[in-house]
Structure 1
Amino acid sequence: ILHDFNRKYACAKAYHERILKSLNYSYDLTELEKEWFEGIEYLKQFKLIDSEHEINSLIHSGKNILCEGAQGTMLDIDFGSYPFVTSSNTVCAGACTGLGIAPNRIGEVYGIFKAYCTRVGAGPFPTELLDETGDKICATGNEYGSVTGRKRRCGWIDLVALKYSVMINGVTKLIMMKSDVLDEFEVIKACVAYNVNGEEIDYFPYDINANIEPVYVELPGWQTSMAKMQSENELPAEFSMYLFFLEAQLGVPITIVSVGSDREQTIERYTEEEE
Structure 2
Amino acid sequence: ILHDFNRKYACAKAYHERILKSLNYSYDLTELEKEWFEGIEYLKQFKLIDSEHEINSLIHSGKNILCEGAQGTMLDIDFGSYPFVTSSNTVCAGACTGLGIAPNRIGEVYGIFKAYCTRVGAGPFPTELHDETGDKICATGNEYGSVTGRKRRCGWIDLVALKYSVMINGVTKLIMMKSDVLDEFEVIKICVAYNVNGKEIDYLPYDINANIEPVYVELPGWQTSMAKMQSEDELPAEFSAYLFFLEEQLGVPITIVSVGSDREQTIERYTEEEE
Q: 1: distance between equivalents of 2:227 and 2:73?
A: 29
Match of 2:159 in 1: 159
1:19 CA displacement = 6.3
- Tell me the TM-score normalized by structure 1: 0.93
Q: 1:78 to 1:102 in 2, by over 3 A?
A: same
Q: 1: distance between equivalents of 2:52 and 2:15?
A: 32
Q: How does 1:69-88 map to 2 (within 5 A)?
A: 69-88=69-88
1:12 CA displacement = 4.1
RMSD: 2.0
CA shift digits 1:122-164 (9 cap, x unpaired)? 1111000111111111111111111222111110000000001
1:42 CA displacement = 1.8
Q: 1:237 to 1:39 in 2, by over 3 A?
A: same
Match of 1:68 in 2: 68
Q: 1: distance between equivalents of 2:157 and 2:24?
A: 53
Percent identity over the alignment is 97
CA shift digits 1:24-45 (9 cap, x unpaired)? 8776655443332222122111
Q: 1:97 to 1:17 in 2, by over 3 A?
A: farther
Match of 1:184 in 2: 184
Q: 2: distance between equivalents of 1:75 and 1:195?
A: 23
* Greater Cα offset, 89-98 or 153-162: 89-98
1:9 CA displacement = 2.9
1:8 CA displacement = 3.1
* Greater Cα offset, 246-255 or 230-239: 230-239
1:204 CA displacement = 0.6
Secondary structure of the 2:272 match is helix
CA shift digits 1:210-266 (9 cap, x unpaired)? 110000011111111111111111111111111111011111000000111111111
CA shift digits 1:77-121 (9 cap, x unpaired)? 111111111111111111111111111111111000000001111
CA shift digits 1:183-203 (9 cap, x unpaired)? 111111100011111111100
1:61 CA displacement = 0.6
Q: 2: distance between equivalents of 1:5 and 1:143?
A: 44
Q: Which sections of structure 2, spanning at least 5 residues, go unmatched?
A: none
Q: Which sections of structure 1, spanning at least 5 residues, go unmatched?
A: none
CA shift digits 1:170-190 (9 cap, x unpaired)? 100000001111111111110
Secondary structure of the 2:188 match is strand
1:165 CA displacement = 0.6
Q: 2: distance between equivalents of 1:169 and 1:207?
A: 21
- Tell me the TM-score normalized by structure 2: 0.93
1:2 CA displacement = 4.1
Q: 1: distance between equivalents of 2:190 and 2:232?
A: 22
1:47 CA displacement = 1.1
Q: 1:52 to 1:210 in 2, by over 3 A?
A: same
Residue-pair matches, total: 275
Secondary structure of the 1:146 match is coil
